[in-house]
Amino acid sequence: MSHPKRRSYRRLGLSLLAVVLLAALVAGCGKKDKVVAEYEGGQITNKEFTSYKTFMKIVNPMYASIVDEPTVQESILKQFIAIRILSQRASDEAKKEGQQDADKQFAEIKKSLDADADTKKAMKDGGLTQDQMKLFINEQLIMLKDSELKVTDDDVKAYYDKNKDKFEKRVSLRHILIGLTDKNQKTRTKEEALKLANEVKAKLEAGGDWTELAKEYSDDTASVADGGLYANSDPDQFVEAFKNAAKTLPIGKISDPVETEYGYHVMKVESRGQAFDDKAKEEIRQTLSSESIDKFMSDELPKLIKEIKNLPPIPSPSPSASGSESPSASASASSSPSASPSESASK
């Protein structure tokens, strides 16, 4: 025989549990995440989009100051949707290879994350977990791998034949930039920069190693890790004085310092022209892959997106952000590849 009091206690416990579950359900409904985009086959919530914007800020710091602007937000959201759709459409081969590349890339990123308190805080504040970061990397690399695999050898050859003149004028050169602003953001006069550039030239002519001297002296952060090398580059992308030197310097000759708005460059042209080699083929494959993704973005994606709504408002600036640019941001901007001769011409 069951005990009457024990049965009543059980009923009371079940009633309390029902109340707790109901309260949790009501609370959950009140905190339901808003949908910011609906597209054919899926949707993106505000929470996920915020995580993706945080990811973009970390992998591409140039977005940090503009990522919350309305037009930029919408552009990034459309990019996010495109990556998700294309990664889901990808072939099994692309998914396998993209996943392998993503695992390697994330393993390298994780090493720096574990030692970088500022990035870890930015991720926490932006609601970005390491699992989400890995997912975003995975989707991007699968999309890129699938697009590259769809480019055939015949496509590559046809592109080369059509654009042969662009490859024939390519130039491979090395340079060491003595900037009017050095690595530590200290300014130099033109006289000081020219004097140091001539010293570097003398060391090179005496048999000095380009790679070591570039690491020691060059203020071009885009090429210093490669010993000052710009390989198979289109000289028309360089600033004027640098371009002219790239086109006219005798091959193998160490130049007198070449003056540009960035300072003085000691240069050596190693070769001109580019054969239809593996490097050219890989470059063409990536170009055609990018064109394919761009075509999807412009032609197909708008038809797949049903609605974009509830984009987060622009956050109010913090008191510390109301002043001038921070020293770290300033240093990053001045030492970026945009300060190199090749990148500045494309702006």
Chain position carrying tokens 């994606």:
301
pLDDT given for residue 22 in this prediction: 37
User: How many other C-beta atoms are found inside a 10 Å radius of the C-beta of residue 158?
Assistant: 13
The 10s digit of each residue's pLDDT in 283-315 is 899 999 999 999 999 999 999 999 999 887 766
Which secondary structure element, helix H or strand E, spans residue 260, and what is its range? strand 258-260
Residue for token pair 């993704």: 293
Determine the Cα–Cα distance for residues 334 and 184; give it in Å rounded to an integer.
Answer: 10
**pLDDT on residue 67:** 85
Tell me which amino acid residue 272 is.
Answer: R
Between CA 289 and CA 283 the distance in angstroms is 10
Structure-token match 């995440």, residue found: 33
Q: Phi, psi at residue 311, to the nearest 5°?
A: -60, 140
Question: CA-to-CA distance for 214 and 202, rounded, in angstroms?
Answer: 14
Helix axes 210-217, 190-205, angle to 10 degrees: 160
Instruction: In the chain, list all ranges with CATH 3.10.50.40.
Output: 170-272
C-alpha 91/C-alpha 267 separation (Å) is 46
Q: Which residues of 239-266 are buried (b: 16+ CB within 10 A; e: fewer)?
A: beebbebbeebeeeebbebbbbebbbbb
Cα 148 to Cα 156: distance, rounded to the nearest angstrom = 11
Q: Reply yes or no on domain 170-272 having CATH 3.10.50.40.
A: yes
Q: What is the pLDDT of residue 13?
A: 41
* C-alpha to C-alpha distance for 231 and 270, rounded to whole angstroms: 9
Q: Which long-range contacts (CB under 8 A, 24 or more apart) does 157-162 make?
A: 157/276, 159/284, 159/287, 159/288, 160/276, 160/280, 160/281, 160/284
Residues (pLDDT < 50) of the chain are 1-30, 318-347
Looking at residue 97, its pLDDT comes to: 97
Distance between CA atoms of 226 and 224, rounded to whole angstroms?
A: 5
Instruction: Name the 3-class secondary structure at 121.
Output: helix
